[in-house]
Amino acid sequence: MLDRLLGRASLKERVAELEEANHHLERQLDAEKERRADAATERQRAEAEVNRLEDRVAELQDRVERLQDEEGESTFRAEETLSRARLSEVLDRLESVETEPEGVFTAYVDAERSLPGPVRDAFGDRASLVASAAPCLAVTDDAGLLSACLSVPAPPSPFTGWADTVQLERSWFEPTDEHVVALVRSDLFAMGEYDGREQTAFHGFDSELKSQHSKGGFSQSRFERLRDQQIDSHLDRCRAAIEEVSPDRLYVVGEGSVIHEFEDLSTAMKPVDATGEPDAALDDAVRSLWTVRLRVP
């Protein structure tokens, strides 16, 4: 009652209200501090995640660049089928190369043999490309400025060697002087005599060959035997025509399953897909024979 008379009751109530308000503000302050702490933690986590992702991106970019470099090392820098004029230009350029003694490396690489050690040493990490281009004439130099693989229509025996010039002969790549091209298929023969690129004589014929038999058993076996006899007779006739001409240089082209029969007579052989009548088929075969492919390791 005394507090009420002196006005203390209202004062105490006011103090209580202020204390409650103060507690409320303290709770708000604590909550804000906690919120800011949580926000700082989240920011740190976000920054750490950004850093991790940036590192991952850099790692992936580096991996892509390395894979591209590896891919570049395993593919040819250039590939080209040479036209007659372009072939002459390329051969002229190779023949013009001159270096100090043993500055240029030349090799004829046979596809049927493993890559020779000197070729591996000369081409280094590009040697696998030379192996994939074989059979080919492979050329490089000691400064790494020259690098080429050429398919060779009339190949020499395999060789390797360093010299001061590129070791090649035009007759490996272009028809020169007098020679004969014989197209042999199991049902067709066409032979042309040439002086350089000019045809001076032609002889051709085709042979009837039994078509595929539809029956099996004994009848099928008899059919296959008769067909083989027809092919043998045709090949004997082809050989007789070639031997009658008796060429010094003979290029045998045509069906892969039969041209090996003339290996003892030929300077070089090449399977080609030439169809049609004998004269037209021979023209196609000659174009295929003298086609040269350039690859740059």
**DSSP per position, 114-180:** PPPHHHHHHHGGGHHHHHHH-SEEEEEETTS--EEEE--SS----EEEEESS----GGGTS--SEEE
Interval 273-295 mean pLDDT: 94
Classify residue 296: in a domain, yes or no.
Answer: no
Q: Which pTM was predicted?
A: 0.68
Residue ranges in the chain assigned as alpha helix (H): 2-6, 8-73, 84-96, 117-123, 127-133, 217-245, 278-289
Say if residue 65 is in the same domain as residue 104. Answer: no
- Mean pLDDT in residue range 77-90: 95
Q: How does pLDDT run across 188-236, given as a tens digit for each residue?
A: 999 999 999 999 999 999 887 766 545 555 477 787 888 889 999 999 9
Same domain, 230 and 192: yes
Domain total for the chain?
Answer: 3
What is the distance between the alpha carbons of residues 191 and 185, in angstroms, rounded to a whole number?
12
Determine contact, residues 120/127, Cβ cutoff 8 Å: yes
* For residue 43, pLDDT beyond 60: yes
Range of the domain at 241: 178-289
Same domain, 126 and 201: no
Residue 49's pLDDT band (boundaries 50, 70, 90)?
A: confident
Cα of first residue to Cα of last residue in the chain, in angstroms, is: 111
Residues 11 and 105 in one domain: no
Q: In this structure, what CATH number is given to the domain that contains residue 208?
A: 3.30.420.60
Q: Are 140 and 77 in contact (CB under 8 A)?
A: no
Lookup: tokens for 122: 């000369």
